[in-house]
Amino acid sequence: MVRFTREQVTPRISRIRGAGDVCMYFVEGSKRAALIDTGYGLGNLKAYLDSQTDKTYDVILTHGHVDHASGAGQFNRVYLNEADLETLRRHCGIEKRKEALKTLSPEVFRTLTEEDFIPPKEDGFLPLGDGQLFDLGGVTLEAIHVPGHTRGTMVILIREERAVMFGDACGVGVLLFLPESTNILEYHRSLLKLKRFEPQYDKVLREHGACESTKHVLEDCIEICERILNGTDDAVPAEFMGETAYRAVKTDPRTGKRLDGREGNILYSKAKIR
């Protein structure tokens, strides 16, 4: 049986953890609530949330990858950027989830039964666009389109909490070598756009690892893009789920952290620079 836990991040933002190496966020206003991402689609997430709140809530997907969108099948009102619809259909089937979990969370996979896997949602999504607002009552979410990790990746600004949910858009190991990723040049433009929102937040939330970063992670990734474009990055060969990529900045093999003490990093393909 998959169990869920909830921890308070700010007065109106909670971090939800279930099975696997990823978390989700639940934001509650005075009138409504919103769930940001749905994880691997393991266990009865809807029943858990319904036990935690009596408010109506929508689901907002930051992107269509297996570890973020696979639980959408339990919900009717799910927002997704249309550029990620095909990515979601490729990624969120039950067999794809099993394959990912065997590699990324084998200890979790061994505990699962067939009944733990939620059937995928492939159609019926509501549109999610750049600048779209969600008024929850005293707290407003703003969706920001940040193409890079995927073409439909969205960052969620939680205005009144002065927090931003980067998801996989920017962090300690942004994956930009995937078929659905943009090239480095386009990603750089996306990050410069995202930087314009920097005065509006103090807290940076993510969904893997420590699940939080300093505000400096954005500037780190902008600088790394510029180094890659100039051919001055470290370009360390790396493997991820059977794919060959290059890590832009050297890391400590024991910790995975940058040797220079900074935070952001990018894994990319040399075929997808410009």
Find the radius of gyration of the CA atoms of the chain: 18
pLDDT at 191: 99
> Position of tokens 């954005």?
218
Q: What structural domains and CATH numbers belong to the chain?
A: 1-128 (3.60.15.10), 156-274 (no CATH)
pLDDT at 242: 79
The percentage of residues in the chain with a pLDDT greater than 90, rounded to a whole number, is 96
Average pLDDT of the chain, as a whole number: 97
Q: Can you tell me the distance from the alpha carbon of 67 to that of 90, in angstroms, rounded to the nearest whole number?
A: 12
pTM of the prediction? 0.96
Judge whether 187 and 225 are in contact, CB under 8 Å. yes
Residue 239 has pLDDT above 90, yes or no: no
Q: What is the pLDDT of residues 8-40, one digit of tens each?
A: 999 999 999 999 999 999 999 999 999 999 999
| CA torsion angle 80 263 211 116 (round to 10) | 70
Q: What is the pLDDT of residues 61-85, one digit of tens each?
A: 999 999 999 999 999 999 999 999 9
Judge whether 178 and 218 are in contact, CB under 8 Å. no
pLDDT at 195: 99
Residue 241 has pLDDT above 80, yes or no: no
pLDDT at 134: 99
Q: Can you tell me the distance from the alpha carbon of 149 to that of 239, in angstroms, rounded to the nearest whole number?
A: 17
Q: Can you tell me the distance from the alpha carbon of 32 to that of 35, in angstroms, rounded to the nearest whole number?
A: 11
Residue 240 has pLDDT above 90, yes or no: no
Q: What is the pLDDT of residues 54-64, one digit of tens each?
A: 999 999 999 99
pLDDT at 214: 96
* 3-class SS letters over the chain: CCCCEEEEEECCEEEEECCCCCEEEEEECCCCEEEECCECCECCHHHHHHHHCCCCEEEECCCCCHHHHCCHHHCCCEEECHHHHHHHHHHCCHHHHHHHHHHHCHHHHCCCCHHHECCCCCCCCEECCCCCEEECCCCEEEEEECCCCCCCCEEEEEHHHCEEEEECCCCCCEEECCCCCCCHHHHHHHHHHHHCCHHHCCEEEECCCCCEECCHHHHHHHHHHHHHHHCCCCCEEEEECCEEEEECCCECCCCCCECCCCCCCEEECCCCCC
Q: What is the pLDDT of residues 91-146, one digit of tens each?
A: 999 999 999 999 989 999 999 999 999 999 999 999 999 999 999 999 999 999 99
Residue 4 has pLDDT above 90, yes or no: yes
pLDDT at 190: 99
Binned at pLDDT 50, 70 and 90, residue 1 comes out as: confident
